[in-house]
Chains A and B, each alone.
Chain A
Amino acid sequence: MITLRSLSVLLLLGALGGLGGCATTGGNPEDPLEGYNRAMFSFNEGVDKAIIKPVASGYKAVVPAFARTGVTNFFANLGDVWIGVNNVLQGKFDDGVSDFGRFAMNSSLGILGLIDIASDTGMDKHNEDFGQTLGRWGVGSGAYVVLPILGPSDVRDGFSLFAVDRHGDPLAYVGNVPTRNELYGVRIVNTRAGLLDASRLMEDAALDRYSYVRGAYLQRRRSLVYDGNPPREPDAERTSKSAPGAMPGAPTRGAASAGEDSRIPRDQTALSDTSGKDNAGLQGVKQ
């Protein structure tokens, strides 16, 4: 992990150094670092294509499906404790208790977590981490950031991952370093193997993979912070098909990409207004 971190810092610096050259910022207000982010995104794609994806494909071809499910369940089970802690931190005690219950049941009856029995008894798996906890506490996501190897993130979630979640990861406490690294490796490969179909679909669906992944990440995280029920953002296009004006009282800045358009009247003035704002954002980055 240490090496991965110093590698990340190195790459980050390298990419930032090249930032001045590529100022083709698309103007998403949540992505002021687009130049760096795009560079890192394509770096990550390169690493994925050269190493991670081939290994994951091999793993999927060799390891039978039931064994892969077991591996997925094993790591998912280890994660449930930290998920429970975060639910408690967010004041969702019932969910937290359910997560601890899942861990107890799956670790024993589920044979060290290889079988997810708890889900069958109605204790659903949750999705929580410290970034979501901060979001629940009212901390904004900050700028979108593509992390080396780890991929899409933002300032809040990236900070949470390195400063907090890492310590909530049971693997971090495996004393034997080679064993621990092996476990990290298996987890990465197993996760990537599960994503093979989805990543192929994304490649097909996206016009621009970078902004597709960015939009999906930002919308997904926002949804997760609110456990699937984010406050609905007014969207001029969505709610009133014919009305030419913007929605009155719409927020000036939304978390989802959809939010961007909500306050923009659909006429020429509005357009020049946005491009002006984009330029301002761009200059901010350059300085």
Chain B
Amino acid sequence: MVKSFLFALCLPLLAAAAGAQAQGLAPDALMKSISDDVIGIIKQDKDIKAGDREKINALVDAKVLPHFNFARMTALAVGRNWPKANAAQQKQLVEEFRNLLVRTYSGALSTYKNEVIQFKPLRAAPADTDVTVRTQVRRPGSEPVSIDYSMEKTPAGWKVYDVVVGGVSLVTNYRDSFNAEVRDGGIDGLIKSLANKNRSLETQAGGSSK
């Protein structure tokens, strides 16, 4: 259960085969092609399995990130304080939050161990522009973990704006702490905390690789 859960956390990042054909795909078909693609690569790549950060980052950049709407994710995480940030602050928030999510969850890619991802039938009308793609991650001997992707239709194709793992939203779970940061130090305080967090993660990674 726990292993699958952990793996599940990185699936958002597993998700994504860019490519021109992606734009015309239905949301569930898109997510399926992305995860098939990424899992195919991980299975064959010993370096990624061993936790090679550079290779993982390259994979995530190419295949996964294009299908995420980080601006919307950040707005959701910041919640009611989002409109209080000016354009420049919003841009910084998106940048820092994106870095934090990518940095923390892409590392989990290396924990992949033959989990199987099942896609549940999509319950949506063809005209819908906001859908939830439901999946289950299965692993022999443990309870299946659900991963739901909230997706919206944009001119550039379907984009993920929230990932809910086992009922926990990876995005809105930040709201309490973001609200507290804004209350204590304003929008700039939140930006600073996120930047500090990212910097300390960077140092950590640098330190451990030596």
> Which A residues form the contact surface with B (CB < 8 A)?
26-28, 69, 72-73, 76, 115-116, 119-120, 124-127, 194-195, 197-198, 201, 204-208, 211-212, 214-216, 219-220, 222-224, 228, 230, 235, 237-239, 241, 244, 256-258, 260-261, 264, 266, 270-271
Contact = CB atoms under 8 A, between A and B. Distances in A.
A177 B180 CA distance: 47
A230 B173 CA distance: 16
Residue of A115, A125, A208, A212 ringed by the most chain B CB atoms within 10 A: A208
B176 A28 contact: yes
Given A69-B141, A219-B168, A258-B169, A207 B181 contact: yes
B26 to A, nearest CB: 21
Contacts of B175: 215, 257-258, 260-261
Contacts of B104: 201, 204-205
29 contacts: A27-B179, A28-B176, A69-B141, A73-B141, A116-B140, A120-B140, A124-B144, A125-B1, A125-B143, A127-B1, A127-B143, A194-B3, A197-B3, A197-B108, A198-B2, A201-B107, A208-B177, A211-B180, A212-B177, A215-B168, A215-B173, A219-B167, A223-B167, A223-B168, A237-B80, A237-B82, A239-B130, A241-B72, A266-B83
A99 B201 CA distance: 43
A223 B166 contact: yes
Contacts of B140: 116, 119-120
A216 B9 CA distance: 13
Contact of A228 (B103, B146, B150): B146
B173 A126 contact: no
B6 A197 contact: yes
Contact of B176 (A119, A124, A211, A244): A211
Contacts of A261: 79-80, 175
A126 B142 CA distance: 9
B173 A257 contact: yes
Where chain A touches its partner, the secondary structure class is: helix
A99 B82 CA distance: 46
Interface of B: 1-3, 5-6, 9, 72, 75-76, 79-80, 82-83, 100-101, 103-105, 107-108, 111, 130, 140-144, 146, 150, 162, 166-169, 172-181, 183, 193-194, 197, 201, 204
A216 B168 contact: yes
A206 B178 CA distance: 11
A188 to B, nearest CB: 14
Given A194-B3, A220-B166, A224-B167, A72 B141 contact: yes
Given A238-B162, A256-B169, 17 more contacts: A26-B176, A116-B140, A116-B142, A124-B143, A127-B143, A198-B9, A201-B9, A204-B107, A204-B201, A207-B178, A207-B181, A212-B174, A228-B167, A241-B72, A256-B172, A261-B80, A266-B83
B6 A198 contact: yes
A115 B101 CA distance: 36
A194 B139 CA distance: 14
Contacts of B173: 212, 215-216, 219, 257
Contact of A207 (B3, B9, B82, B193): B193
A116 B6 contact: no
